[in-house]
Amino acid sequence: MAVNNVVHVNECGLPLNAIAWLVKHHQSKIHERTQMIRDLQLEEGCFVIDAGCGPGLWTPLLAQAIGVTGTILGIDISTEALVTAQRRNHNTWYRQQVQYKRATLEQLPVEQGTADVIFSANVSQYLPDPVATFAAMGPYLKQDGRIVIKDIDFGTMKFHSIDPLLQKRVFQARALWEAERVDHDYAYEDSWVGSKLAHYLQAAGYKDIQENAYRIVRHHVLPADFRFYLQGIAEWFVCEGAPYLSLDDVTNWLQCFTDEENSVLDQPDFASEETEYVVAGRWDGAAPRFYVDMHIEIPHREPLLVAND
C-alpha cells in the first residue's frame, strides 16, 4: 500500500512533492531541533548562512537565536524550495533580516571571510564528496567562524516491537543499496552520514570539532506528524525495488507500518528511536586543506572534543 505518496529523491535531494514531507518531518522533531539551535549559543547580531536551506524551515529558529540585529542568508540549488522559503518568510517579524539566493554549497554568493556561522541541515547526506565540499565552504567564514553540520544516521534507528531480525535485514539491505545506487543513475545518498561528520570536518581542515548527538525517542500514542514521518521512512527503506531484500521481507515490513487494523504503531509497547548529529568546527584560515577518499582510514590529527547531551 502506498504511503504518503513520497517520491523519494531527485538529483538535488529534494523531490518536487517533498516540501510537505520536509515540513511534517521537521515539525515532528521540532522539540529536539529547537534544542539543537539553542545549544549552538549563536551570538546576537551574527551573520548566518543556511546552506541548503530548502523551504526555510530552520529560519525561524535561527532568527530567534540571533535576534533583531542578526542576518540570515539561505541558499539552495532548488528554485522551488527557495520560492517556498520566501513565501514562508513573508509575514514574519524577521523578514527584513533574511534573504534567499540560488547557489551551491561550494560557491556561496558572499565575499570570502564574511560569515560568522555556516549552518547546514540534512544536506550532507547528498554530498558525494563531503570533505571537499566542507573544505570549499571554510574560506567564506571569518577567521574562527563556525561551520555547523546537522544530519541523520539511520545506523541509530530502532523500532521496539518489530522483529529485530527483520529490522536488521531491512537496514542492511538499504545500506548495501545506498553504496551502489549511484551506479544505477540515482543521486548519491548516505543516510548513515551523521556519525561520520566529525571526521569529515576534521579532514576538511576544521579545528575544535564538537559533536552533539540528539536521541529522538517516541512512544505510543504517536503524535500524528511523527506517525506520518515513520510511515514515509518505512516506505523509503524499501523503495527503488529494494534489490537486497526478499519480497516477503518487503511485504512484512510495510505491513508493520501501514496495516490499518493491526499496525505496530498502534501497539501500546511501540517505541521508536534514532539519533541526529550536530557537528561544529571552527575555520582556521591557515589550516592546510586536504582531500581524502573517505573509504580509507583518516588519521586523527588531534583528539576530537565530543560533547554528548
148 binds ligand SAM (CB under 6 A): no
> Total residues at the site for ligand SAM (CB under 6 A)?
19
Nearer to ligand SAM, 124 or 265 (CB): 124
Nearer to ligand SAM, 13 or 194 (CB): 13
Longest distance between any two alpha carbons in the chain, whole Å: 61
Among 65, 85, 117, 121, binds ligand SAM (CB under 6 A): 121
Task: Work out the angle at residue 73's Cα, subtended by the Cα atoms of residues 280 and 196, and round it to the nearest 5 degrees.
Answer: 25
Considering the complex, what minimum distance in angstroms separates the CB of residue 105 from ligand SAM? 4
Cα torsion 191, 155, 41, 90: sign:
positive
Strand 271-283 to strand 141-160: parallel, antiparallel, or no bridges (unpaired)? antiparallel
Residue 60: in which H helix or E strand, if any? helix 59-66
Among 4, 15, 20, 22, binds ligand SAM (CB under 6 A): 22
Nearer to ligand SAM, 181 or 220 (CB): 181
C-alpha 101, offset from chain centre: 20
Instruction: Count CB neighbours of 287 within 10 A.
Output: 15
Report the residue number whose CB is nearest to ligand SAM: 54
Among 14, 162, 256, 292, binds ligand SAM (CB under 6 A): 14
Nearer to ligand SAM, 185 or 260 (CB): 185
Contact in structure between 163 and 299 (CB atoms under 8 Å): no
Closest CA to 110 of 49, 43, 66: 49
The residues, any chain, with a CB within 8 Å of residue 16's CB and separated by 6 or more, are: 7, 10, 80
Nearer to ligand SAM, 124 or 210 (CB): 124
Site for ligand SAM in 23-82 (CB under 6 A): 26, 52-54, 57, 76-78, 81
Give residues in contact with ligand SAM (CB under 6 A).
12-14, 22, 26, 52-54, 57, 76-78, 81, 104-105, 121-123, 126
